[in-house]
Structure 1
């Protein structure tokens, strides 16, 4: 075997998150609640009690499914925070099977993103705007190895 073998490079699951003290998590930030990447909608803390630790109660909404999750943790303990990335790509095509063709910054195309199934009103408006030959930017949120279209806007020249 040669020195230049091709190995598939995998990503460790821990690379999707980083630790942060529960007391430092803020509303509208992100946190892993019950193992799901969530946008924090409520954050409350209660004072240290008889056993010494102040507790944080965090409520958030899963960024991919919209389900609500709640978790509590001592404020001095670390919680996992997902790396969340938002990007915009130009829309090139919408296939019959609801997959999007997007133009990347480097000129290549991305064809593995599907329209969100639970946002029918946005999808219908997007299809209508696309059929009217409008130039459209698709906003995508990425976290934990997943991605989802969250919105779009028309490119105004």
Structure 2
């Protein structure tokens, strides 16, 4: 086996996709209330941050309280203030709703094309989407996406002309 084939065998493939990362690191003290972070493996919006002074074992500790952006559950976690925490890449995108499938998925349209893998939310938001569609209105939903998950978080409607 030649040296060239070994280099080719282990060469990293350059994909050119800089958006591929689902999270990025940030030091705990740089995070702020109403920002996002990963707490116990969940994407959370930060509700509270408190910092304890350094103790006999060294580092100051930051205690985080957040709300899971997909389930609404409250999550608490703590980390040394000198450590990096993972921050999810969170994107909000508007889509036009074409219809709701029989199995409860939204048929969405944007400049990027069609999308059919977001479930209609339960509760008031899902009912508002269905009501607007039944009334013949043009319906737009805002989809929140992070760490490979997506959820509808808001809806807007205008009457068709």
| Corresponding residue SS for 2:21 | helix
| Partner residue, 2:130 | 127
In structure 1, C-alpha distance between the alignment counterparts of 2:130 and 2:152, rounded to whole Å: 14
| Corresponding residue SS for 2:34 | coil
Unaligned segments of structure 2, at least 5 residues: 1-14
| Corresponding residue SS for 1:52 | coil
In structure 2, C-alpha distance between the alignment counterparts of 1:109 and 1:15, rounded to whole Å: 23
| Partner residue, 2:51 | 45
In structure 2, C-alpha distance between the alignment counterparts of 1:74 and 1:43, rounded to whole Å: 12
Query: In terms of Rg, which structure is larger?
Result: 2
Give the aligned length. Answer: 143
2:78 is the counterpart of 1:75 = no
In structure 2, C-alpha distance between the alignment counterparts of 1:112 and 1:47, rounded to whole Å: 46
Shift of 1:49: 2.5
How does the TM-score come out when normalised to structure 1? 0.84
In structure 1, C-alpha distance between the alignment counterparts of 2:124 and 2:157, rounded to whole Å: 16
Deviations 1:36-62 (A, max 9, x none): 111111111122223332211001111
Counterpart among 112, 115, 136 of residue 110 in structure 1: 115
| Corresponding residue SS for 2:33 | coil
In structure 1, C-alpha distance between the alignment counterparts of 2:131 and 2:49, rounded to whole Å: 39
Counterpart among 137, 147, 150 of residue 147 in structure 1: 150
Task: Kindly report structure 1 stretches of 4+ aligned residues shifted beyond 4 Å.
Answer: none
2:68 is the counterpart of 1:62 = yes
| Corresponding residue SS for 2:129 | helix
| Corresponding residue SS for 1:126 | helix
Shift of 1:155: 4.0
How does the TM-score come out when normalised to structure 2? 0.82
